[in-house]
Amino acid sequence: MTIVIPEVDLGKCNGCGDCVELCPAGIVAVVNGKATIVRPEDCDYCTDCETFCSSGAIKCPFEIILVKDEGS
């Protein structure tokens, strides 16, 4: 099984810690001054970390699309 998690560009990360505070699953930590996904198995892929990353260092490589079942 493959776990899909947000990707952190360490070159762009400024270590502000916003992602740590905003992650509802608590999977992000600042390690050595950079955002790090420390518990990938607990990531629910909400994308809050990407949305609120002011430096653009965090990207979620997949887009989740919900489709309403019209009862075809």
For 12-63, what is each residue's pLDDT tens digit? 999 999 999 999 999 999 999 999 999 999 998 899 999 999 999 999 987 6
Q: What domains can you pick out in the chain, each with its CATH number?
A: 7-59 (3.30.70.20)
pLDDT in the model for residue 17: 95
Tell me how crowded residue 27 is: count the other CB atoms within 10 A of its CB.
20
